[in-house]
Structure 1
Amino acid sequence: MTSVTFRCDDATEALLDSLARDGESRSDTIRRALLDAARLRRREQMRAEARALVDDAADLAESRAVRADLDPLRAW
């Protein structure tokens, strides 16, 4: 496992304290914050992709064509 050292200013120190759960080490707080940030970034990327696809006429046409092909196979 890699060890990382960084210097906190007062604002960062306060944020770190506010993010910490009871009994959680600073390392665990930072690790959890990094994982949360990565999840948030991925969600933002997925939202951006979805917004782009909403306006993509070719993608919408393909989706409709696939649905039309599959509709006869539906169970109900």
Structure 2
Amino acid sequence: MATLNVRTDSALETALSELAAEHGSRSDGVRFAVLHTYRELLLRRAQDDAERLATDADDQAEMLAIQRFMGVAE
């Protein structure tokens, strides 16, 4: 497992203290924060894609063709 060094300021120290109290250690708190942020990024990207697909007829047709190919649509 790799190690990450981060410079902190007072705001980050406060956040790390809270995360450590909630998740057991500073490392676990940082892991939680990074993975939570990454999950939010993926969800935001998926939402953006869904909105784009909902307004683009060509993309809708392509998605339907893919779903039919996969056997999840008629």
Q: Shorter-chain TM-score: what band?
A: 0.7 to 0.9
TM-score, length of structure 2 as denominator length: 0.73
Q: What RMSD in Å do the two structures reach over aligned CA positions?
A: 2.2
Larger Rg: 1
Task: Tell me which residue corresponds to 2:45.
Answer: 45
Report percent identity of matched pairs. Answer: 35
Count of residue correspondences: 66
Structure 2, gaps ≥5 residues long: none
Structure 1, gaps ≥5 residues long: 71-76
- What letter corresponds to residue 29 of structure 2 in structure 1? T
Q: Looking at secondary structure, tell me which structure has more helix per residue.
A: 2
Deviation sequence 1:9-64 (CA, Å, 0-9, x none) = 00111122233316x1100100111111111110010001001101101233453x
